[in-house]
Amino acid sequence: MNQNKMELRMENGENTGTDPLENGPNIQQQVLAVASKNLNIESLSVETNLLDLKIDSISFIKTVVALEEEFDIAFEDDYLYIEALPTIDAMIRYISSNL
C-alpha cells in the first residue's frame, strides 16, 4: 500500500489530522465505482496501482472528468497525469482534501 499520505489542511494551513478514508467510506465507494466503470475494470480496490495496470492517458482523463462531475470539483492541472495520482487511494485522498 502507498505510504505517502496527503495531509488535510484548514484554510489557515493547520493540519486537520483527518484521514479521508476513515471519514469518507461513501467517497471511497463512489471513486471505486466511477473508476471501475470508466476503466472497464471490475476488480479495483483502494490499493490498485493504475501504473501497474498500464492505464492509458485517455482512459485516465476520462476517469478524472467523471470524478470531477461526480464530486463537483476540478482537478488541478498538476493532477491530470497518472503519475500524480497513480492509485485509487491517491484519488480518494485528493478528492477528500478538495471537497
Q: What is the pLDDT of residue 81?
A: 95
The CATH number given to 21-97 is 1.10.1200.10
Percent of the chain topping pLDDT 90: 72
The set of residues, in sequence order, having a beta carbon less than 8 Å from that of 2 and lying 6+ positions away, is 47, 49, 86, 87, 89, 90
What are the residue ranges spanned by the domains of the chain?
21-97
Helices (H) and strands (E) in the chain, counts: 4, 0
Q: Please state, in angstroms and rounded to a whole number, the distance separating the CA atoms of residues 6 and 4.
A: 7
> Per-residue confidence at 34, pLDDT binned at 50, 70, 90?
very high
pLDDT for res 24 = 58
Name the maximum alpha-carbon separation found in the chain. Answer: 40
pLDDT of residue 3: 37
Tell me the pTM.
Answer: 0.74
pLDDT score of 25: 67
**For the chain, what is the mean pLDDT?**
82
